[in-house]
């Protein structure tokens, strides 16, 4: 609407008012004698203010009209949104009711399945209880069977132990029988020799024309041979002027048995940084078994002279602190005669020397330099220890004779080695000899013999 121009009815109203005012002013003018133009000016001023006030009122009415139209539009929009929301809510309610119906059907199905599962679980529990009872019964029966088997096995072990002990006694009895048979053979040979000598004496006495006037000496020769026999029945050779008479005693190992070994009453009291091992060796076997082995709790090969029964043996191992070892040739020792053996080792230089019959056969360096053979172990002659004090192997046993066995805690000089081999007195610093043996096991024989010629 255009509010800049007043409407016609307002102009008529204005004219009427002006006329009335004019009339009033004429009456008043006549009464009060005021000028006409002054009144007209005031009326014009009032009309102007009235026009402004009317325009302001009309402007407010127009704004209110525009606001009401905007509110109507907003109300229409809100009504449209309400209708949309109502449609959406109706669809959601329909979908929700459908889902609730589906859930109810699923719940019914789940309840049925739960009932079935409960029935199956109860059945399985019953079966499990029955099986557990059956298993417990079977376990009890198995325990009874196991106890019976254990007692039976223990009885079998006792029987095996008794059989083993009987076998050992039988072996010892057989060894004694063999010794007795040897003595019988020697006595028979001795008797045959005496008979032969007696027959020769009778023949000589029958031929008096050819007899010498001196009495026969055969019986005295026979008596001398009898006096020089060894405990095993073999004849000894009489000591000669060059005999070796510093051996003191001998050990005889008759066969390759795990029961044949000797232990000492004392062992190494202190560690060894140097050592010398010397012994006279005689064997009729085609191999040289283990002469000695020294074992501790942490190592069973601290010091070993290890040999083994093989098809062809040409050397033995000198082991000092497993696994360090050196191979030493032994072929010169396998002829059945006495040979002098000396092995020397020095930790300070890491050197070793190997003598057979005063001759240096092998030597070397860089062998366990700075190493110490510790004290507190067990020294055994004739067997190789796979654990401290036991677990022997009969193929590693020594078979033959050892005489004059001695260990020194220092390295002997070549002159001292030669002196021992030629029968001179033993050097000082000895720590172990056969006199220190405490136990002889198996069928070993310890023979006291001053001279090597008497050690048989």
Q: Is residue 153 part of a domain?
A: no
Q: Is residue 74 part of a domain?
A: no
- pLDDT digits 0-9 by tens, 11-46: 666 656 656 655 555 555 555 555 777 878 888 888
Q: Is residue 311 part of a domain?
A: yes
* pLDDT score of 225: 30
Residue 435 to residue 437: CA distance in whole angstroms: 6
Cα angle, residue 74 at apex, residues 71 and 76 outer, rounded to 5°: 110
At 57, the pLDDT band (50, 70, 90 cuts) reads confident
Which CATH number fits the domain that encloses residue 380? 2.60.120.200
Task: Please state the rounded mean pLDDT for residues 263-292.
Answer: 91
Instruction: Give CA 152 to chain center in angstroms.
Output: 34
At 133, the pLDDT band (50, 70, 90 cuts) reads confident
pTM for the predicted model, two decimal places: 0.49
Q: Are 325 and 341 in contact (CB under 8 A)?
A: no
Given a cut of 60, whether residue 141 has pLDDT beyond it is: yes
**Which residues, including other chains, have CB under 8 Å from residue 440's CB and lie 6 or more apart?**
251, 262, 446
- In degrees and rounded to multiples of 5, residue 447 shows phi and psi of -110, 125
Find, among 401, 439, 424, 86, the residue nearest to 234 by Cα: 401
Element (H, E) at 13: helix 8-32
Q: Is residue 280 part of a domain?
A: yes
Task: Please state the rounded mean pLDDT for residues 80-98.
Answer: 86
Domain containing 372 equals 249-454
* pLDDT score of 358: 94
Q: Is residue 259 part of a domain?
A: yes
- b/e sequence 57-87, b meaning 16+ C-beta within 10 Å: eeeeeeeeeeeeeeeeeeeeeeeeeeeeeee
Q: Is residue 224 part of a domain?
A: no
Q: Is residue 62 part of a domain?
A: no
Q: Are 296 and 388 in contact (CB under 8 A)?
A: yes
At 434, the pLDDT band (50, 70, 90 cuts) reads very high
Number of domains present in the structure of the chain:
1
**Residue 185 burial by CB count (10 A; 0-12/13-18/19+): exposed, middle or buried?**
exposed
Q: Is residue 130 part of a domain?
A: no
Residue 409 to residue 375: CA distance in whole angstroms: 12
Given a cut of 50, whether residue 222 has pLDDT beyond it is: no
Residue 213 to residue 211: CA distance in whole angstroms: 6
Q: Are 449 and 455 in contact (CB under 8 A)?
A: yes
Instruction: Give CA 453 to chain center in angstroms.
Output: 54
**pLDDT over 90, % of the chain:** 35
């Amino acid at each position: 609407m255009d509010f800049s121009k007043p409407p016609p009815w307002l102009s008529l109203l204005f004219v009427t008012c002006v006329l009335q005012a004019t009339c009033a002013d004429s009456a008043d003018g006549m009464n009060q004698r005021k000028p006409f133009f002054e009144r007209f000016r005031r009326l014009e001023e009032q009309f102007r203010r009235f026009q402004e006030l009317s325009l302001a009122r009309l402007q407010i009415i127009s704004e209110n009209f525009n606001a009401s139209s905007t509110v109507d539009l907003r109300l229409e929009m809100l009504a449209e949104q309400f209708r949309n929301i109502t449609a959406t809510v109706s669809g959601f309610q329909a979908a929700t009711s459908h889902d609730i119906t589906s859930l109810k059907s699923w719940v019914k199905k789940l309840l049925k399945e739960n009932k079935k599962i409960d029935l199956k679980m109860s059945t399985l529990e019953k079966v499990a209880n029955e099986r557990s009872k059956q298993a417990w019964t079977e376990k009890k029966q198995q325990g009874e069977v196991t106890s019976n088997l254990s007692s039976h096995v223990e009885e079998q072990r006792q029987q095996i132990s008794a059989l083993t002990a009987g076998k050992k006694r039988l072996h010892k009895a057989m060894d004694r029988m063999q010794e007795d048979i040897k003595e019988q053979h020697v006595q028979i040979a001795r008797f045959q020799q005496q008979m032969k000598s007696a027959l020769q004496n009778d023949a000589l006495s029958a031929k008096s024309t050819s007899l010498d006037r001196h009495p026969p000496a055969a019986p005295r020769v026979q008596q001398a041979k009898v006096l020089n026999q060894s405990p095993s029945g073999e004849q000894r050779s009489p000591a000669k002027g060059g005999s070796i008479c510093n051996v003191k005693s001998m050990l005889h190992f008759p066969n390759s048995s795990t029961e044949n070994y000797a232990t000492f009453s004392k062992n190494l009291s202190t560690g060894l940084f140097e050592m010398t091992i010397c012994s006279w060796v005689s064997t009729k076997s085609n191999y040289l078994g283990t002469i000695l082995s020294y074992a501790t709790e942490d190592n069973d090969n601290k010091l070993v002279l290890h040999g083994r029964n093989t098809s062809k043996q040409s050397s033995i191992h000198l082991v000092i602190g497993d696994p360090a070892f050196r191979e030493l040739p032994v072929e010169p020792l396998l002829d059945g005669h006495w040979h002098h053996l000396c092995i020397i080792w020095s930790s300070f230089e890491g050197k070793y020397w190997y003598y057979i019959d005063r001759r240096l056969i092998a030597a070397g360096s860089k062998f366990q330099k700075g190493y110490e053979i510790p004290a507190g172990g067990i020294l055994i002659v004739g067997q190789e220890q796979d654990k401290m004090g036991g677990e022997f192997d009969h193929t590693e046993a020594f078979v033959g004779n050892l005489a004059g066995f001695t260990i020194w805690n220092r390295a002997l000089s070549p002159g001292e080695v030669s002196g021992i081999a030629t029968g001179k007195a033993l050097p000082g610093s000895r720590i172990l000899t056969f006199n220190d043996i405490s136990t002889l096991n198996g069928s070993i024989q310890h023979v006291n013999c001053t001279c090597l010629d008497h050690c048989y």
